[in-house]
Amino acid sequence: MKFGANTFIWRSPFTTESDLDLLDKVKGLGFDLIEVAVEDPALVDVSMLKAVLVEKDLGVVTCGAFGPGRNLSSLDPAERNAAREYLTWMINAAQELGSEVVVGPMYSAVGKARLENEQDRQTEWGLAVEGLKEICAYAVDKGIKLAFEPLNRFETDLINVVDQGLRLIDDVGAPNLGFHLDTFHMHLEEKDSVAAIHKAGDRVFHFHACENDRGVPGTGQVNWEGVFTALMDIGYDGNIVIESFTPQVKSIARAVCIWREIAPDQDTIARDGLKFIKSFPGMA
């Protein structure tokens, strides 16, 4: 397995003009890769980023940000088109950068959480399936996998648990579509995170190691021993990325409702979190 840190820990939005120093930081903290959260493609010079990644001998994962207006399952065609264009850019960037997977809650827009009537829910589900079929077909020709992230009920009304995600995978029917699982969301939504990981099995394409309060992994209530054992049980050998937040990144703090200090500082989240993960047998 390889270990990474998401740029959201330190900055938002990521831009190659001002944030390439994070590659040195992530490398210096002992990570194998950096997960670049791309909020605005116009701020990211892919060629420049690739050159620095090669120089630093650092791996990369491209992580999508699906805010309002970028919704693959929207009833508004303009929002669906914006999501398709964004995902196409992400796939092209992933191929150029050497990221084997594009990750994030790509089936909808984060923050869309409301009780729909059944007809609209079925329509939105169908639009998500249709959109993902198209995007997966494009991605497979580029050699890229897509890993969608189930979110907690306060952030989405579409995919909250693995059971729903398995239905989505079945309906889309694409071999390059799988899960991006996150222990923060699983802790809130799954009856049993360990059982959910086992159920997802070889469709786990990406994994976020995040504490239940979004603080330093290992300082809260997540059943880490069970989680890591389950990952080894299913033969997972992909990336494990720390994605946590502090009030210092105000735009993200507002988006994910971080109102208090949950870690001593941003570097501690990454440094101590990595040390904790690697302390488990078989994880180093």
Residue type at 24?
A: D
User: Is-catalytic flag, 243?
Assistant: yes
| DSSP helix/strand/coil, 156 | strand
Which of 149, 155, 189, 211 is an active site residue?
149
Mark whether 39 is an active-site residue. no
DSSP assignments along 184-241, one per residue: HHHHHH-S-HHHHHHHHGGGEEEEE---TTSSSTTSSS--HHHHHHHHHHTT--SEEE
Length of the chain: 284
Query: Of 100, 189, 211, 243, which residue is the catalytic one?
Result: 243
Cα–Cα distance measured from residue 167 to residue 281, given in angstroms and rounded to the nearest whole number: 33
Cβ contacts of residue 182 below 8 Å, gap of 6+? 149, 150, 151, 207, 208, 210, 243
Q: Which residues are 37's β-sheet partners?
A: 63
Quote the radius of gyration of the chain (alpha carbons, Å). 18
Which positions are catalytic?
149, 243
